[in-house]
Amino acid sequence: MSDQNWLVTDDGDCFSFESADLVLTEQPYRLYRFLSELEDILAAAPDDRQRILQIVPLVRQLLTSSYWLQLEFDPPSAKTGWSVRFLYREYEFPLTVQMVAWAPGQRSKIHNHAAWGIVALVGGQEKNHLWRRAPSPEQPDRLEKAGEQLLLPGDIIGFMPGAIHAVEPLGEEPTVSFNLYGETNFQQRYQFDIEQHTAERY
């Protein structure tokens, strides 16, 4: 287990940060309690960066205490190469809480989420290719490479709403992750074509 914390800015810069030491109690830290404390943080902290820094320790506590969550995923689809299982859904609940699995050899399109996001790697290895906007008069949607970040089991990475990345599983086994996203601004959510220097909403 690596147990590193990372934060990706809107400009694609990635830096590590420390969080409080994990303290486990006899009482399990359950999903319902996590969601309640999550809503409290969102109400008290309007800044997305501060939200991520405060939520990451809770994600680590949840996955360590409620170990069953790490087994709540579907095998990657043979058709798409990935799978998503929602862990919690409620009418007008604005957050996305899910387990995601990627098959070896797959790679996502370059995209942003237009929401703060936190991804905790549970199994496998995953490389995040990071990009930043570098517009020109001729190519307003041009991107340039900002770096890469390798994730190992136990690593948690947070993304600011404008962060742009592509996900690439490494090795011969599927990657499995716990993914948490804030409320999405769909008017600002894009996938990018790096060769054509274009962006389209999705």
pLDDT in tens, 85-137: 999 999 989 999 999 999 999 999 999 999 999 999 999 999 999 999 999 99
For residue 142, what is the DSSP state?
Answer: -
Provide the whole-model pTM: 0.95
**Rounded CA separation 69/175 (Å):** 15
Run of H or E residues at 116 = none
3-state secondary structure of 193: strand
Q: Contact 139/188 with Cβ under 8 angstroms?
A: no
If one counts every other C-beta atom within 10 angstroms of the C-beta of residue 45, the result is 15
Q: Contact 124/113 with Cβ under 8 angstroms?
A: no
Question: In order of start, what are the domains of the chain with their CATH numbers?
Answer: 5-17+75-201 (2.60.120.10)
User: Which of 13, 59, 14, 22 is CA-nearest to residue 37?
Assistant: 59
pLDDT band per the 50, 70, 90 thresholds, residue 1? low
Residue 24 has pLDDT above 80, yes or no: no
